[in-house]
A and B are shown apart, each in its own frame.
Chain A
Amino acid sequence: MRTKQEYLIRYKDGNLYCELADIWIDPSKPVKKALITHAHFDHFTFGCEEYISTRETAILLKERVGDNIKIKTFEYGEEFKINGINISFHPSGHILGSSQIRFIFAEEKWLISGDFKLQKDLTCKQYEIVKTDYLISECTFGLPIFKWDESNKIANDISKWITNSPEKTSLLFCYSLGKAQRLLNEISQTNFKGNIYSHGSIHKMNNSYRELGIDIKDTIKIENKKIDEHKGSLILLPPSLSKGSYLKNFKNIQTAFASGWMSIRALRKRSGYDKGFAISDHADWDGILEVVKKSEAKNVFFHHGDSEALSKYLVEKESINVLLFGK
Chain B
Amino acid sequence: MSLKKFSELFSDLDSINSTNNKVEVLKNYFLSNDPIDNSWAIYLLTGKSNKRFINGRYLKNLFSQIYEYPQWLIDTCYLKVGDSAEVITLLLKNKTNSRKKKLSNISLNELLSDTIPALSKLNEEEKYLEIKNLWETLPEDNHLIFNKILTGTFRVGVSIGLITKSISKLINIEEEIISHRLMGDFKPSSDSYEFLINKNINLQELNSKPFPFLLANTIEDKIFKNSINDFQFEWKYDGIRMQLIKRSGNVSLWTRGQELVNESFPELVEKMSQIKDDFVLDGELLVWNFKEQIAFDFSLLQKRINRKSPTRSIQIKYPIIFIAYDLLEINGRDIREIKLENRRIELEKYFSTWQIKTENNISDIFKICDLIFPKDWPDALTYKEKSRENNTEGLIIKKKTSIYSSGRKKGIWWKYKVDPMQLDAVLIYAKGGSGRRAGLYTDYSFALWKDKELIKFASAYSGLTNIEIKELDKWIRKNTIEKFGPVRSLKPEMVFEISFEKIQISKRHKSGIAVRFPRITKWRKDKKINDADSLENAYELMKKIS
Contact = CB atoms under 8 A, between A and B. Distances in A.
Interface of A: 143-147, 263-267, 269-270, 274-276, 308-309, 312-313, 316-317
B313 interface: no
B440 to A, nearest CB: 8
B437 interface: yes
B486 to A, nearest CB: 13
A20 to B, nearest CB: 33
A263 B90 contact: yes
B348 interface: no
A145 B83 contact: no
Contacts of B117: none
Interface of B: 14-17, 69-70, 72-73, 76-77, 80-83, 86-87, 90-91, 93-94, 435-439, 466
A169 to B, nearest CB: 14
17 contacts: A144-B69, A145-B77, A146-B90, A147-B93, A264-B86, A264-B439, A265-B81, A265-B83, A266-B81, A266-B82, A266-B436, A267-B438, A270-B437, A274-B17, A276-B15, A308-B76, A312-B72
Among B90, B94, B435, B439: residue with most chain A CB under 10 A: B90
A264 B438 contact: yes
B90 A274 contact: no
Given A144-B91, A145-B90, A316-B70, A270 B436 contact: yes
A146 B86 CA distance: 12
Contacts of A316: 70
A263 B15 CA distance: 13
B73 A144 contact: yes
A313 B71 CA distance: 11
A147 B15 contact: no
Contacts, number: 59
Contacts of B17: 274
A242 B441 CA distance: 24
Contact of B439 (A146, A267, A276): A267
A308 B73 CA distance: 10
Contacts of A266: 81-83, 435-439
Contacts of A313: 70, 73
B80 A145 contact: yes
A39 to B, nearest CB: 27
Nearest to A316: B70
A307 B9 CA distance: 36
A119 to B, nearest CB: 13
Contacts of A269: 436
Contact of B94 (A145, A147, A308, A312): A147
A144 B81 CA distance: 12
Given A265-B86, A266-B83, A309 B435 contact: no
Among B76, B436, B437, B438: residue with most chain A CB under 10 A: B76
A229 to B, nearest CB: 19
Contacts of B72: 309, 312
Contacts of A270: 436-437, 466
A51 B16 CA distance: 47
A270 B439 CA distance: 11
B436 A309 contact: no
A158 to B, nearest CB: 12
A144 B77 contact: yes
A143 B77 contact: yes
Given A143-B80, A145-B77, A145-B80, A275 B437 contact: no
Contact of B81 (A264, A274, A276, A308): A264
Given A270-B437, A309-B72, A309-B73, 19 more contacts: A143-B77, A144-B73, A144-B90, A145-B77, A145-B80, A145-B87, A146-B90, A147-B93, A263-B90, A265-B14, A265-B83, A265-B86, A266-B438, A266-B439, A267-B438, A270-B466, A275-B15, A316-B70, A317-B70
A266 B437 CA distance: 7
A266 B80 CA distance: 9
A317 B70 CA distance: 9
Contacts of B80: 143, 145, 264
